[in-house]
Amino acid sequence: MFTESTAAQLTALVLLLLVAAFFSLAETAMMAASRLRLRHLARQGNRAARRTLKLLERTDRLLSMVLLGNTVLNTAVTWLSLLAIEHLFRAPWLIYGAPLIVAFLILVFSEITPKVIGATYPERIALPASALLKPLLWFTAPAVWFANLFVRAILKLLRIKTRSGPEAPRVTADELRTLVLEGSSFIPGKHRTMLLNLFDMERLTVDDVMAPRARIEALDLSQTPDSLGVALTTCYHSKLPVHEGDISRVIGILHLRKLFSAVGKEGFAAPEGSSAYGTGGIDPQAIRALLVPPYFIPTGTPLIQQLQMFQENRQRLGLVVDEYGEVLGLVTVEDIVEEIVGEFTTAAPAAGSALRWSSDGQVVVDGSVALRLLNRRLGLAFPLDGPKTLNGFLLETLEQIPDGPCSLQAGHAVIEVMQVQEQAVRSVRLIRMG
C-alpha cells in the first residue's frame, strides 16, 4: 500500500538519483573541459576558471571524491528502491526483478543522460559545478585520502606514474597546426597561411631559402676599374658581397648608400685618367675603405634560429658556408620573412617571377630554381628532403649529367631537359599532366 513512509522513500529516491546525476554530470564536464580555454579565462580574471583549474591540479583527488559520492549514492538508491518496491507491492517475487529496475533507473537518470549533457556543454557546467565540488572535496578529504592509499599502492605495484601539480598540457607543433586548420572560420585566410608557414619553418634550414652560389650578385675587386663601375651601375641590390678572385674569398660587404655618398670625394675615382663613377672606373682601394666585415652562417642552421641570430647581431645579410669555408649561398632577413608572409615584389629579377602555367599546361624554367618555389607556384609535389634545386633533383634522379635533351616523369609533371651547360641543367620545360 502507498503510505507516508513509502512517499518519503520515493522522494528520497528521486533526490538521490538527482544528486548522483550531478556527480556524473560534473565528472564528465570537468574531464572534458579544455585546459587551454580555462587558462585563457583565468588570465582574464574569471574566478570560476581559476577554481576549476585548482581542482584539476589534483585529478586523482577530484575523481576519487566524485566516484566515492557516486558509489555511496548508487548503493543508497538500490537499498531505497528495494524498500519502496516491497512496501508498494508486497510481492516477494518482485524482489528478484528489482535489481533490473534499479539498474535501469541509475543507468538512464544518473549515468548516461547527465554524462552526455556534461560532454556536450563541458565549460558551461564545469565552471559553476566547481563551486560545489570545492567544499565537497574538503569535506570528504579524509575518506578520499584513505581510498587513495589503496589506489596509490595498486598503481605503484603496476609501476604506473601519475602526474600531479599545475603542469600545463604539452601541445605539439602538429597539434597547434591542427587547431589553426580547424579554426579556419575564425582566422582570416592570410593570417592562417602565415601561421602555417611559421610552423613549417621548424623543418627548414638556411639551405632551403638561400640564393645559391651561382646566383649571388657580388663585386670582384680583381676586375678592372671600368668593370667595377659597370657592375655597380647595373646591380639590383643595396648591399653587395665583395671578393677577390674566387667568391669564397669574401673580404667584406659594400653598402651602396655609403658608396653613393662618397661619389665625387677626393681619392674615390680611379687613378690615372680613368672615367668617373657613373660612366666608368672605380678605385678598388676606395671601395675597400667602405667595406664592413662579412657575416657567415654555417650550413644547416635552422631558419628560426638564424632569424633570431640576425636580430641579435643586427645583421640583414649572411653568407652560408660549409665546413671547409666554401661559400654555398647567400641568405637575407627578407628571404626568411618571405617564408612567413609570402613573397615581396622587388625591383630585382627573380628566378621564379615567370613561374606560371601557360594555356597549354607548359612552363620553361631555369635549372637552378628551387623545388620549394616550384611546388608553391605551380602546385607540384617535388620531394624536399633531398636536393634543393631542380638541377640537383634531375642529377640525383638520372644518376648522371645528361649529355643532351631528355625527359622523365615526376609526379604530375613531365620534365623535359632542354639545355645542359657546364655540367649543369640550365633550361627545363615542365609539362603538366591531367
Are 20 and 70 contacting, i.e. CB atoms less than 8 angstroms apart? Answer: yes
- Residue 165 in domain: no
- The domain spanning residue 235 has which CATH number? 3.10.580.10
Q: List b or e across 305-324, with b for residues whose CB sees 16 or more CB atoms inside 10 angstroms.
A: ebbeebeeeebebbbbbeee
SS3 content of the chain, % helix, strand, coil (to 5): 55, 15, 30
Residue 407's H or E segment, with its range, is: strand 406-410
> Running along the chain, 434 residues long, what does each successive block of 10 average in pLDDT?
64 84 90 86 89 85 85 81 67 64 83 91 90 88 84 84 57 74 73 80 86 86 83 83 88 85 56 44 79 92 91 91 90 88 60 72 86 83 83 87 84 86 85 81
* Phi, psi (degrees; rounded to nearest 5) at 218: -135, 170
- Residue 405 in domain: yes
- Residue 386 in domain: yes
Indicate if 79 and 198 belong to the same structural domain. no
Domain boundary among 283, 311, 341: 341
C-alpha to C-alpha distance for 208 and 201, rounded to whole angstroms: 10
- Residue 162 in domain: no
Residue 42's H or E segment, with its range, is: helix 35-43
Q: Which residues pair with 90 in a beta bridge?
A: none
Are 297 and 315 contacting, i.e. CB atoms less than 8 angstroms apart? Answer: no
Q: How many other C-beta atoms lie within 10 A of the C-beta of residue 264?
A: 11
Indicate if 45 and 113 belong to the same structural domain. yes
Indicate if 142 and 10 belong to the same structural domain. yes
Indicate if 276 and 230 belong to the same structural domain. yes
pLDDT of residue 116: 93
Domain boundary among 125, 157, 189: 157
Please work out, in degrees rounded to the nearest 5, the angle formed at the alpha carbon of residue 403 by the alpha carbons of 402 and 408: 35
Indicate if 242 and 273 belong to the same structural domain. yes
- Residue 96 in domain: yes
Residue 90: left if φ>0, alpha if ψ -120 to 50, beta else—which one?
A: left
Nearest to 24 by CA among 63, 52, 55: 63
Indicate if 152 and 183 belong to the same structural domain. no
- Residue 348 in domain: no
Q: Are strands 413-421 and 219-220 parallel, antiparallel or unpaired?
A: unpaired
Indicate if 186 and 274 belong to the same structural domain. no
Indicate if 153 and 179 belong to the same structural domain. no
Indicate if 76 and 102 belong to the same structural domain. yes
Residue appearing with cell numbers 565549460: 123
| Domain with 211 in it | 206-341
- The domain spanning residue 381 has which CATH number? 3.30.465.10
pLDDT of residue 275: 41
Are 101 and 13 contacting, i.e. CB atoms less than 8 angstroms apart? Answer: no
Indicate if 133 and 27 belong to the same structural domain. yes
Residue 297's H or E segment, with its range, is: strand 296-298
- Residue 353 in domain: no
Indicate if 70 and 139 belong to the same structural domain. yes
pLDDT of residue 278: 42
Number of domains in the chain: 4
Indicate if 197 and 211 belong to the same structural domain. no
What is the Cβ-side half-sphere exposure of residue 51, based on CA atoms within 13 angstroms? 15
- Residue 168 in domain: no
